[in-house]
Every structure is written in C-alpha cells, then in structure tokens.
Amino acid sequence: MKRINKKNHFIWLTLSLLGLLVAGAFSRDIPESVTLELIVYTSVVLLFLSLRSLNSTRKWRALFLLLIVAEILTVIVHEAIGFPYFQFFYLGLLLVFMMAAAWIVGNEVLLTGTVDINVIVGSVALYMLIGFIWSIFYTLLLEFSPTALTGIEAGSWYDHMPNTTYFSFVTLTTLGFGDISPSTPIAEALVILEAITGMFYMAVVVASLIGSMRNKA
C-alpha cells in the first residue's frame, strides 16, 4: 500500500467516500437489527481514513479528530444507556465533518492553480462530499417531516440514509428519475438548491481546471 502523501491523498479520500456509499447500499440487504451498526461503525472507520487523507493544518486535523471522537462517544453512550436524540447528534457531527472536509478539498482543488491526477480525483471527492452533505440534510428533514419525500417509506433514520443518498446524487446530477420526489415546500426548496449547486459546481470546476491548464502552458 502506498503511503498517503500530497500526490495521492485525494485518491484515498475518494476511496473512503466510495466505501461509505457502498456500505449504505449494502445495508439495504441485511437484517434491520444490524443496519445501524453497519452504517455507524463503517462511517467511523472511513472518517479516520478521510482524516489521514486530508492535507490539512494542525488546527483542522484537531477539529476532525475531535468530531470523530465525539461520534464514537455518541455511539458508545447510545449503545450503553440509550440516547433519545442520538440521530440528531450523530448526523449533526457527520454533517460538520463533511462540510469542513469539503471546504479544505475545495480550496485545494479550485485554488491551487495546478492540475494533475490527484487534483482531478479531488474534484470527484468534492462532488461526492457535496452529495453526502445534501443527503444528511434530507435525512434530518425526514426526522421532522416523515412525508417530505414521496417514495421513501416511514422508518428509522438509518433506513432512510441509503435512499436519501441515492436521491441526493440523482438530484445533484439533475437526472430526476422521479421515483423519489419532494412533497413539502421545504423539501422542494432543498431540491432546487441542490440542483443549482450541482450545475454551478460543474461550471466552476471545469472553468478552474481549464484556467489552471492554460496558466501552466
């Protein structure tokens, strides 16, 4: 295994996010009794790998480590004595981690002025981070409004995660298959904002990469 460095760290970050995506999809085919454990523990392991992959300053690394430790403690407390608001703490911490990671990756991908395989893969990682961020928003929305998205049956938040992740990436890419759709004003607003984000992202990234290549030439 190659050591994680500035020339390949985005590759490992992207693999971590792909692992999270696959784990969510796999959770649909296992007994509900172990679905929560699979999603939670897989996400914690992949967050650790993401932490090593992010080329961040000491302060950012300390923040990421603090978030991961808080995630683990939240899970331990929930498993030991129960935690009535576990999903909000867990999803909130995961959301902060994803947004902070997206900020760091965005600065490196869009502002470095260089283009190589690692940066191109980093743009994919940033796109996936955005998709996961919106997925968490939709999952939280369903906790407050279970009928906000038609096509997703009422259930636990960890049952919703694979569906909201699928819906998020379909919306981000503006595919719009229609099997899941917004049914409340707030959900419609979120969908519109994500679709705009997806279109805007592609325009910005393409312009940034092309500009960097021209400057290099």
**How far is the C-alpha of 175 from the C-alpha of 63, rounded, in Å?**
35
pTM: 0.89
Arithmetic mean of pLDDT, 204-208: 79
Three-class SS state of 156: coil
Q: Give φ, ψ of 151 to 5 degrees.
A: 100, -10
Cβ proximity of 162 and 25 under 8 Å: yes
Give 150's strand partners: 181
Task: Looking at mean pLDDT, say which of 21-25, 115-119, 159-163 comes out highest.
Answer: 159-163
The more confidently predicted of residues 136 and 58 is 136
With b for 16 or more beta-carbon neighbours within 10 A and e for fewer, the 110-132 pattern comes to beeeebeebbebbbbbbbbbbbb
Among 137, 152, 42, CA closest to 92:
137
Per-residue pLDDT of 104-143, as tens digits, reads 888 888 766 677 788 888 889 999 999 999 999 999 999 9
Domains and CATH numbers, the chain: 9-216 (1.10.287.70)
Per-residue pLDDT of 81-96, as tens digits, reads 877 788 898 899 899 9
**How far is the C-alpha of 197 from the C-alpha of 194, rounded, in Å?**
5
* Confidence check: pLDDT of 166 > 80: yes
Cβ proximity of 55 and 167 under 8 Å: no
